[in-house]
Amino acid sequence: MAGENFPVALRVLPARIRRHLLALYWYARYVDDLGDEPDERGRDETPATRLAGLDRFDREVRALYHGRLPRHPVLVRLAPTVVDCRLPIDPLLRLIEANRRDQAVRRYPTFGALVDYCHLSADPVGELVLHVFGAASPDRIRLSDRICTALQVVEHLQDVAEDRRRGRIYLPTEELAAAGVSEEDLDAPRAGDRLRTVVRRQAQRAADLLDAGAPLVADLHGWARLAVGGYVAGGRAALAALARADHDPLPGPPKPTRAGIAAAWLRSYRPPRVALRPSGVRG
């Protein structure tokens, strides 16, 4: 999710903020690559090799927080952000842990299990961004978690076919089975009615989470409000694109239009006043 949900493309942000956000982006991107990308020769790494790489990087992150000068270029770039923005170590380590989990877990039985995974893979992003803007608080982090979990769910819905080719399924398998959808149905060129129903249900859950987290936008000010409003707008526009595709992600990820993102961005400045807590969601 790192490449899709960071507001690094917002060129209107001040250079200092952009620099810190880019440092976070490259950190998250590198951790994702350790857990997912082929080696330099294009060969897939074994889970044991990936875990060893993640463990080494985990140790380097911990060493940075113990005052040791970093050597890895990703951490050299991140170190000033850690100091200037007082980043806590926990969300950085959770991103590593998410990629550890990816080496062993490729199916999630329930939506609740997926939400727990998003607490590792997605929620840390929003928490770190709030620290960059000097806007982190327990209440804001709880709202941010809902937004980030929603964005991760949306990304999973967009990438059903790609994830399937990688051997992963991020749709609740118990719901797929109850709907009569087999794993092989995810290999089809287009989704059948039963699969669309499952995807539509997850999309509604993501929309509910976005609505529950949207009051964060009104609670922020200045550049932070602009950036987080972009997060929410991107998620809503992606859900609208998925709906236009009749909730069929198999031909390829449904992409939002620029006009759709802009319209959703404007709407994000008028969030609901009360954050409802969706059932089964932490916080």
CB atoms within 10 A of CB 137: 11
Predicted confidence (pLDDT) at residue 202 exceeds the cutoff of 80 = yes
CB 214 within 8 A of CB 207: no
Report how far residue 137's alpha carbon sits from residue 132's, in angstroms, rounded to the nearest whole number: 12
Report how far residue 142's alpha carbon sits from residue 172's, in angstroms, rounded to the nearest whole number: 23
Predicted confidence (pLDDT) at residue 49 exceeds the cutoff of 70 = yes
- pLDDT, residue 203, reads 98
Residue 191, classed as helix, strand or coil, is coil
Which phi and psi (to 5°) does residue 265 adopt?
-60, -45
- pLDDT, residue 204, reads 98
Report how far residue 115's alpha carbon sits from residue 111's, in angstroms, rounded to the nearest whole number: 6
pLDDT band of 145, cuts 50, 70, 90: very high
Predicted confidence (pLDDT) at residue 93 exceeds the cutoff of 50 = yes
Per-residue tokens: 219: 């609670």
Predicted confidence (pLDDT) at residue 240 exceeds the cutoff of 90 = yes
Helix boundaries (H) for the chain: 2-5, 15-36, 47-65, 73-85, 89-104, 111-121, 123-132, 138-158, 160-165, 173-178, 193-213, 215-219, 222-244, 258-267
Predicted confidence (pLDDT) at residue 280 exceeds the cutoff of 50 = no
For 248-261, write each residue's pLDDT tens digit.
999 998 887 666 66
